[in-house]
């Protein structure tokens, strides 16, 4: 709904907002191909530590899952607020060029970045290409959110950033083809 309604309709006023959804999802699908040919070696270290069961009563397990979910929601919301504030601060800096402000907003937090890019005077297909890349990357806000969730695992934030940057490039290329000829 975010890509379809907020980005496609509210920010870009696309006649066919499903194209934005298609670009981001297709870029994710294409981006996954290298992973099929070079599968990860799995979780390094002792796999048993991830599979250990705790002896919880039903109520303890329920309480633990609710508390864990609430903490995760607060972290995610906090990162969205933090990066939105940073994007707005960037916009208020007089000494910063407009291009840097636009790129910075999209790289920091995509909701704020989408709104700022939507208000800029440039051809619609260029906006679509730029916003497609930013949506595929997800912004540094989503990197921080993901890193927060990955704490305590053997999963690499650096690899995550690399894969998301590659998806952004793929999305920009797809958007260039789709939106240059489809609008």
Two tokens, residue 155:
């999963």
pLDDT digits over 108-145, tens only?
988 888 888 888 888 989 999 999 999 999 999 999 99
Q: Return the minimum-mean-pLDDT range out of 4-8, 22-26, 70-74.
A: 4-8
pTM as predicted = 0.80
In whole angstroms, give the CA distance from residue 98 to residue 92. Answer: 11
CA atoms within 13 A on the CB side of 49: 7
28 Rama sector, left if φ>0, alpha if ψ -120 to 50, beta otherwise: alpha
Q: Are 87 and 113 in contact, with CB atoms under 8 Å apart? A: yes
pLDDT digits over 8-35, tens only?
888 888 888 888 889 999 999 999 987 7
């Amino acid at each position: 709904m975010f890509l379809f309604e907020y980005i496609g309709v509210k920010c870009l006023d696309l006649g066919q907002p499903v194209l934005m959804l298609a670009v981001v999802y297709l870029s994710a699908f294409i981006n996954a191909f290298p992973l099929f040919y070079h599968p990860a070696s799995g979780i390094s270290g002792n796999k048993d530590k991830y599979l250990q069961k705790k002896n919880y009563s039903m109520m303890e397990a329920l309480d633990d899952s609710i508390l864990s979910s609430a903490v995760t929601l607060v972290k995610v919301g906090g990162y969205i607020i933090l990066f939105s504030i940073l994007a707005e601060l960037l916009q208020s800096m007089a000494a910063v060029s407009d291009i840097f402000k636009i790129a910075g907003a999209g790289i920091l937090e995509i909701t704020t970045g989408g709104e700022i890019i939507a208000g800029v005077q440039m051809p619609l297909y260029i906006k679509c290409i730029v916003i497609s890349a930013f949506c595929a990357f997800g912004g540094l806000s989503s990197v921080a959110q993901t890193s927060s969730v990955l704490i305590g695992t053997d999963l690499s934030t650096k690899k995550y950033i690399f894969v998301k940057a590659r998806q952004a490039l793929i999305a920009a290329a797809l958007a260039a083809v789709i939106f240059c000829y489809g609008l």
